[in-house]
Amino acid sequence: MALVEPLEPSAGGRRRLRLVSPADGEDLGEIEVQTAADVQAAIGRARKASIEWGETSIDERRRILERALRHLVHHQDEFLDVIVGETGKPREEALAMELVGACDALQFYARRAKAILADRTLPLHLLKTKRLLISYRPLGVIGIITPWNFPFLLALNPTVQALMAGNAVLLKPSEVTPHSGRLVEHLLEQAGLPPDVFQLLTGDGETGAALVEGGVDKICFTGSVETGRKVAVECASQLIPCTLELGGKDPMIVCADADLERAAAGAVFGAFSNSGQVCISTERVYVVEDVADAFQRKVVEKTAELRQGEAGESDVGAIIHGPQIEVIEAHVEDARARGAQVLAGGRRNPDCQGLYYEPTVLAGVDHGMRVMREETFGPILPIMRVRDESEAIQLANESRYGLSGSVWTRDKRRGVAIAKAIGAGSMVVNDCMVSYAVTEAPFGGRKESGLGQVNGETGLRGYCHAQSIVVDRFGTKSEYLWFPYRARKGRRLRRLLKLLWGTPLGRLLT
Ligand code: NAD
């Protein structure tokens, strides 16, 4: 079932896409693909609006976010209807992962931005006749491009940060889930954000590429490695900054002393929540041999308890984007053909009409299989036995990805030490899937998982240029290092250089 189908162009000549629910095939309307000319016009409006917006006080911006938060809390069901309809997620999952995260982001940045973005003065180690001020200046116009797996949260969270930092924003949500992107527009309108400070651009890669090429001041991109690379190349050619939040193949390391009950429950949640369509979902498990049987048994038992279906309460929702189910099937088939055992699932759910893949547990896997090397982005949990923790670390690092991962052990210190040995942007000890939810934590992948970091203090300041302003303190008539250069001045400088950097006294002074 294709979830985004091309239609005849609109009267204005724009391409049109028809949207279909992954849960039940219901018609979800259509969008027009905005062209490069539309994007240019929007950037022009944003640039004008950014001037006044950049001059508003942080308190004014805070009040808008607080109004947005109140609106979201009061109208949560309307928001959930749209997100669930478009993605086929269980309602409670959309509530827990999209709305809780959105409310937290609105409140966190509303409250904390003032302190994080306040001018700072730093004590100087050498030029003590100067004062250094760091001022966080808005960049201007930010382009935000987002994927379909958390279509509301991943659109709202960077938008809120960029706005609080004083920028105008152009959001291009995924063509698979544009209505959830439209919720961000609606929310900000309700909160009284001035016109054109935020604009929504609907469309697919054509619109996204036009935004990246259009002359904005920064791109915040979340999506696949393949598209991220194109975005990075274009940003490099324009010399504009970008953050790239890309794919992952997160390892889970289960040590011999792990609490197996918690680790098994964590593995099941980490692999199957949002049907595995999470950049930081648990995509491969390395379990130490001594506890592998017990761990595997518990995982299979817990997987059997999961409910999947279109009606009533359920745990594991739909595959949001049609082509993704083919990737999932290909990974499972490749693993099966190379000798993996399917301990649970391993097929589309025959009882469901929509796009549902059963939560699947694989054993007997190795790195020769695609499911251990490539991002699956589906409800698949491959478990590999390892001799000991060092082998687990080595295998965890054998990946082109480095987004996140988890370590499970009763010895938290050792857990942190193992976490540090993994080449990933963020790690978790005895939990999973929380790196993005901890709002203070800078978030961003290493290797092919991304570039730069978002969220928290680092992310918020990333929507600004940290401008250094050096102020002379005493206003003397001239400076010693200014003209004229004379031999006598050179001799004195040499003596000073020796004193400052060549003696114990100098080390105290600098
Ligand atoms: P995608 O790369 O196909 O699309 C992402 C967005 O880019 C969409 O809005 C799309 O229309 C747009 N786009 C497509 N071509 C473009 C181009 N040439 N220039 C600019 N924009 C373009 O990704 P997807 O399939 O929507 O999302 C799934 C991927 O996102 C997975 O790999 C997942 O791991 C990753 N992801 C990463 C994070 C993170 O924070 N690291 C979070 C969520 C998802």
DSSP per-residue codes, 367-414: TTSHHHHS---SSEEEEEEESSHHHHHHHHHSSSEES--EEE-S-HHH
**Rounded-to-integer distance, Cα 231 and Cα 237, Å:** 10
Residue bearing the CA closest to ligand 1, atom 28 = 223
Q: Is the confidence at residue 393, as pLDDT, over 90?
A: yes
In percent, the amount of the chain with pLDDT more than 90 equals 94
Binding site membership of 274 for ligand 1 (Cβ less than 6 Å) = no
The closest-lying atom of ligand 1 relative to the alpha carbon of residue 174 is 9
Do residues 373 and 246 make contact, with C-beta atoms less than 8 angstroms apart? no
**Rounded-to-integer distance, Cα 291 and Cα 255, Å:** 8
Binding site membership of 272 for ligand 1 (Cβ less than 6 Å) = no
**Rounded-to-integer distance, Cα 196 and Cα 92, Å:** 33
Pocket test for ligand 1, best of 39, 86, 145 (most atoms within 8 A of CB): 145
Q: Is the confidence at residue 43, as pLDDT, over 80?
A: yes
pLDDT of residue 399: 98
360 CA to centre of ligand 1 in angstroms: 25
Quickly state the pLDDT bin for 212 (edges 50, 70, 90): very high
pLDDT of residue 13: 85
Phi, psi angles (nearest 5°) of residue 467: -85, 125
| Count of CB atoms situated within 10 Å of the CB of 171 | 26
331 CA to centre of ligand 1 in angstroms: 20
Pocket test for ligand 1, best of 86, 222, 374 (most atoms within 8 A of CB): 222
**Rounded-to-integer distance, Cα 232 and Cα 222, Å:** 12
CA 490 to chain centre: 53
Q: Is the confidence at residue 40, as pLDDT, over 50?
A: yes
Q: Is the confidence at residue 2, as pLDDT, over 60?
A: no
pLDDT of residue 44: 98
Sorted by sequence, the CB contacts under 8 Å of residue 348 that are 6+ apart come out as 325, 329, 355, 356, 357, 358
Residue 380 tokens, joined? 């698949």
Task: Judge whether 235 counts as a catalytic residue.
Answer: no
Instruction: Enumerate domains of the chain plus CATH numbers.
Output: 4-246+456-465 (3.40.605.10), 250-448 (3.40.309.10), 485-509 (no CATH)
Closest CA to 500 of 492, 130, 484: 492
Residue 223, Ramachandran bin (φ over 0: left; ψ between -120 and 50: alpha; else beta): left
Residue 265 tokens, joined? 């429950």
Q: Mind listing the pLDDT tens digit for each residue in 158-206?
A: 999 999 999 999 999 999 999 999 999 999 999 999 999 999 999 999 9
Binding site membership of 448 for ligand 1 (Cβ less than 6 Å) = no
- Average of pLDDT values for 83-105? 97
152 CA to centre of ligand 1 in angstroms: 14
Binding site membership of 238 for ligand 1 (Cβ less than 6 Å) = no
Q: What is the mean pLDDT of the chain?
A: 96
- Average of pLDDT values for 109-123? 97
- Considering Cα of 49, then 151, then 331, then 19, what sign does the dihedral take? negative
pLDDT of residue 3: 61
228 CA to centre of ligand 1 in angstroms: 7
Residue 10 is given by DSSP the state P
Q: Mind listing the pLDDT tens digit for each residue in 455-491?
A: 999 999 999 999 999 999 999 999 999 999 999 999 9
- Considering Cα of 401, then 404, then 405, then 407, what sign does the dihedral take? positive
Cα 216 to Cα 39, 143, 238, 242, 321: the distances in Å are 10, 6, 10, 11, 29
Binding site membership of 250 for ligand 1 (Cβ less than 6 Å) = no
Quickly state the pLDDT bin for 306 (edges 50, 70, 90): very high
245 CA to centre of ligand 1 in angstroms: 9
In percent, the amount of the chain with pLDDT more than 70 equals 99
- Average of pLDDT values for 275-296? 98
Q: Is the confidence at residue 54, as pLDDT, over 80?
A: yes
**Rounded-to-integer distance, Cα 353 and Cα 135, Å:** 56
Task: Judge whether 279 counts as a catalytic residue.
Answer: yes
DSSP for 464-496, please give it: EEEEEEEEESS--SS-TTSSPP-HHHHHHHHHH
* pTM for the predicted model, two decimal places: 0.97
Quickly state the pLDDT bin for 406 (edges 50, 70, 90): very high
pLDDT of residue 1: 39
Do residues 253 and 389 make contact, with C-beta atoms less than 8 angstroms apart? yes
**Rounded-to-integer distance, Cα 178 and Cα 28, Å:** 10
